[in-house]
Amino acid sequence: MINPFQKKGFSAISPIVDKVTFLGYADAKEADDPFKAAFEVAKLCAKEGYIVVNGAGPGIMKAATLGAHSGGGQAIGVTFYPDDTAMFEGRDKTNKVDHLIVEKNYLERTLKLLELGQIFIIFNGGTGTISEFGMAWGLARLYFGHHKPLILYGDFWQEIIFAFTRGMYIRAEERQVFKIVNKPQQVILAINKIRDDILKQSHKHIEPKFSI
C-alpha cells in the first residue's frame, strides 16, 4: 500500500517543506495593507530559505515576488495566456519571477499553484482567491493528517470561518487544517513549526501529524 505521505502533488504534503504558495487579491496596490503584509511575509520566508510561489500576476502575487527577492530568495510564477477570459488579471511583466510556468487554463494554473507549495498563505481577495481557498481547504480535509496546511492572513478570516461553521456542515477536522494569523512573524513561526514537526516524524518513518 502506498503511504500517502510519500505522494507528490497537490494532495499531500512532502517530507521536505521548501515552497510556500501565496494567494490573494490581484488588485492590491503597494500602499495597501495586504500588499505590504504579503511583501513582509515573503521576505521572511525567503530569509528562512523557502521558495515563494505565486500566480505571476499583479497585487499580492507581485508583492510576494518582491518580498522574496528582498529577502534574498527566489519566486516561481504560474500563469496562463487566455483566449476568452477577459476578467483574468493575467501575467504582470513587472512581477519578475525567477522561473515562470505556463499552464493551459485557469483550473490547471490553480492546481499547479497547489501542487508546488507545501503550505498555502491566503490573504484577502476576491472570487479568484475564494476559489483557491475552497480547493485548498477541501483537499486539506480529504487528505487530513498528511494534508497541506493553510495559513489565513488577517483577522477578517475569523468572521468568514464563523459564518461557514454557523451556516454550513463543517466537520471537526476541517477546522484543524488552518491557522489564522495577523502578523508576518506569526506566519513564519507557523511554517517553521510545521516543517520541524514533519522532519521529526519523517525520520521516525511514521505518517506526519502536525498542528498549526
Cell of 165: 461553521
* Residue 9 confidence (pLDDT): 62
Residue-level pLDDT at 11? 58
* pLDDT at residue 66, as a whole number: 98
Instruction: Report residues of the chain scoring pLDDT below 50.
Output: 1-8
- Residue 193 placed within a domain: yes
Residue 209 located in a structural domain: no
pLDDT of 3: 41
Instruction: Please indicate, yes or no, if residue 6 is contained in any of the structural domains.
Output: no
Which single residue is written with the C-alpha cell 493575467? 90
Domain count, the chain: 1
Angstrom distance (rounded) from CA 180 to CA 164: 15
Say if 196 falls within a structural domain.
yes
Cell representation of residue 118: 507545501
pLDDT value at residue 14: 77
pLDDT per position as a tens digit, 8-30: 465 577 778 999 999 999 999 99
pLDDT at 85: 77
For residue 133, what pLDDT is reported? 97
208 domain-assigned:
no
In a domain, 9, yes or no: no
- Does residue 139 fall inside a structural domain? yes
Residue with cell 517543506: 17
How far is Cα 65 from Cα 87, in angstroms, rounded to an integer? 22
Domain that holds residue 44: 16-203
**DSSP structure class, residue 77:** E
Does any domain span residue 38? yes
Q: What is the CATH number of the domain that holds 55?
A: 3.40.50.450
Instruction: Give pLDDT, residue 58.
Output: 97
Closest CA to 153 of 127, 119, 111, 197: 119
Does this model's pTM top 0.75? yes
pLDDT for 207 equals: 56
